[in-house]
Amino acid sequence: MLYRLDAAAPHVAAAFGANERDDPWTGGHVAPGGFAPVITAGREFVAGPRPEGRTPRRMVPRLWGVPPPPSVLDAPRHGILSVRNAESPFWIGNLRNSEFRCLIPATAFMEWGNGTDRDGKRRRHWFACADQPIFAMAGVWKDSEVPSFALLTCEPNAALRAAGRESMLVILPADSKAQDLWLRGGWDRAQALLAPYSSSLMLERER
């Protein structure tokens, strides 16, 4: 699993109405264990009750891969990259508190597929969204050891099933209200966004 964000920090921040705070991102690949721009509701450092007014969105660099709990003996080298069970005790506390949910900007993502390509290498499938050049994936952040994040997954759409995948990353609709629901809404409503993106709105391309 990889993704790309082929836009510099100021452009990304403007697309999502966020304060970039001197984020150094210039564009390119995002690999497991690497830093990438993350957009939050701006309450990471606000303790206590929710403020009456809306805090502005913030864009900050975070590490892709959340350190696993101590009970995990065979931990992934780059941490936990995705949330496959949103009801897991490891995730549900953060997901129920909206300030821990975040938007992960991207311009394309890659999933490994079945079979091999013409060079005999494992097949890669790159996908982008036809209706939004920069899209938001649903994420959740933690600060257990490092400022990190993981991506939410859901059932695959037809395009991902055809590529041999049993799940797909959650891509949020091209609608600021949907993004705001993920960042600020109650979990009873926000969890409805964990749904496959329409195959008709996706493009598969070579990289």
- Domains, the chain: 2-43+57-205 (3.90.1680.10)
Closest CA to 134 of 35, 9, 44: 9
- State the average pLDDT for the chain: 90
pLDDT at 47: 47
78-137 pLDDT tens trace? 899 999 999 999 999 999 999 999 999 999 999 998 777 777 788 899 999 999 999 999
Q: What residues contact residue 175 under an 8 Å CB cut-off, 6+ apart?
A: none
Does position 76 have pLDDT exceeding 80, yes or no?
A: no
Confidence at 52, pLDDT banded by 50, 70, 90: low
pLDDT more than 90, % of the chain: 75
User: Considering the entire predicted model, what is its pTM?
Assistant: 0.92
* Long-range contacts, 46-51 (Cβ 8 Å, 24+): 46/99
Name the 3-class secondary structure at 84: coil
26 CB neighbour count, 10 Å cutoff: 9
pLDDT at 135: 98
pLDDT at 20: 85
Name the 3-class secondary structure at 149: strand
Confidence at 146, pLDDT banded by 50, 70, 90: confident
Mean pLDDT of 146-164: 95
Q: Are 36 and 102 in contact (CB under 8 A)?
A: no
Residues forming beta bridges with residue 18, ordered by sequence position: 57
Confidence at 71, pLDDT banded by 50, 70, 90: confident
Classify 178 in phi/psi space as left (phi over 0), alpha (psi -120 to 50) or beta.
alpha
Helices marked H in 89-191? 89-96, 158-162, 176-184, 187-190
